[in-house]
Structures are given as structure tokens and as C-alpha cells.
Amino acid sequence: MRNRGVLVTTWLLLSTAGQAMADDAPLSHDASQPIEGEQIYQQHCASCHGIDGEGMPNWQRPNAMGELPAPPHGPEGHTWKHSDAMLYRMVSEGWRDPWNETERLTMPAFEDVLTPAEIRSVINYLKTLWELSSSLVYGGKSRG
Ligand code: HEC
């Protein structure tokens, strides 16, 4: 009986330690990604989309050239409406609104500038822009 108690205690200790390690690994990984993503964003995206992702002024209306300006990435924009796959495509291959009066890609392609991992990382950062603001708007409730 006594030996069994020791065994159970040891098992409990080991499994709690294992659990703590398993919890730690993905957390620290996720936390490092938006930091790297933020650096990529500030370097390659902020000039058009704004330092805080606020977009260009009058982003909802075509400019003098008949092109839509860079939109914000917060909840007021529409970045959050796109699937991860679509966001990846837009950043990698570039994008233009089909109604633009010019043919050029107003959103430049980044496939020759950023690695696939960097593109994923900057998209993860974009998510923090609308999730942070929406948690303020909705009183801290996560939309999961
Ligand atoms: C030269 C200016 C410019 C730069 C630099 C730029 N963008 Fe854009 N981006 C735009 C414009 C303009 C649009 C709007 C295109 C349209 O819909 O006509 C856009 C659209 C987007 C969209 C789609 C948003 C939506 O709601 O449809 C995403 C996502 C995006 N950009 C991400 C990025 C990321 C990430 C970077 C940096 C790696 C970046 N952009 C750099 C100009 C830029």
C-alpha cells in the first residue's frame, strides 16, 4: 500500500511537470511570432497601411487615379473577413480591387521580398490588430 502511494505521487509529479512543459512550448512560440511579425509590418507595410494599421485617409473612396487606398487592418476595415489562405495570397501575390480604374497591383506582391514563414508571421501580427481592438470593444471577450 505504502509503495503504491509513493508511485502515485511520483506519477502525479511527473505528469504535472510534463503538462507544464507541454503548455509552455506553444505559448512561447506564439508569443514570439507577433513580435517578429510586427517588425516585418513596420518595415514593409506601415508606409501604406499606417504605423498602427489605421490605413490611408479616406480609404473607403477611390483616389484621384481611381484606385482604392490602403485600408486599415483593425475591426473597422475588412482584413479580418478574409480566410488565412486568402490573406496569404493577397500578401504573397499582391492585390488590386477589381473595380480600380488602373490595372497595376496597388497592394504589392511580397513573394520575392518575404519568406513564406515571414508572410505567415506578419499575417499573425495583423490578427493582433483586430483581436486587440475587438477585445476592447467587446469588453475583453475573445471571439475565439
Ligand atoms: C505600396 C503600398 C502598400 C504596401 C507597402 C502594402 N500594402 Fe497592403 N494594400 C495596399 C492597398 C492599396 C490595398 C488595397 C487594395 C485594393 O483592395 O484595391 C492593400 C490591401 C491589403 C490587404 C487586403 C485588405 C482587405 O481588407 O482586403 C492586406 C491583407 C494587406 N494589404 C496586407 C499588407 C501587408 C501584410 C503588407 C506588408 C507585408 C502590405 N499590405 C503592404 C497597399 C500596400
Q: Is 104 touching ligand 1 by the criterion CB < 6 Å?
A: no
- The length of the chain is 144
Confidence at 130, pLDDT banded by 50, 70, 90: confident
Nearest CA to ligand 1 atom 30: 91
Lowest mean pLDDT, pick from 1-5, 37-41, 100-104, 113-117: 1-5
107 C-alpha to center of ligand 1: Å?
A: 4
Q: Is 75 touching ligand 1 by the criterion CB < 6 Å?
A: no
49 C-alpha to center of ligand 1: Å?
A: 7
Q: Once rounded to an integer, what is the mean pLDDT over residues 66-72?
A: 98
**Given this model, what pLDDT does residue 26 score?**
44
**Which residues lie below 8 Å from residue 109, measured CB to CB, with a gap of 6+?**
92, 93, 94
Q: Once rounded to an integer, what is the mean pLDDT over residues 87-100?
A: 97
**Given this model, what pLDDT does residue 131 score?**
83
CA–CA distance, 97 with 106 (Å, rounded to integer) = 8
Give the three cell numbers for residue 81.
Answer: 473577413
Which residue out of 36, 95, 104, 126 has the highest number of ligand 1 atoms within 8 Å of its CB and is therefore the one to mutate?
95
Instruction: Using the structure block, give the residue that is written with the C-alpha cell 496569404.
Output: 88
Nearest CA to ligand 1 atom 26: 79
Q: Is 129 touching ligand 1 by the criterion CB < 6 Å?
A: no
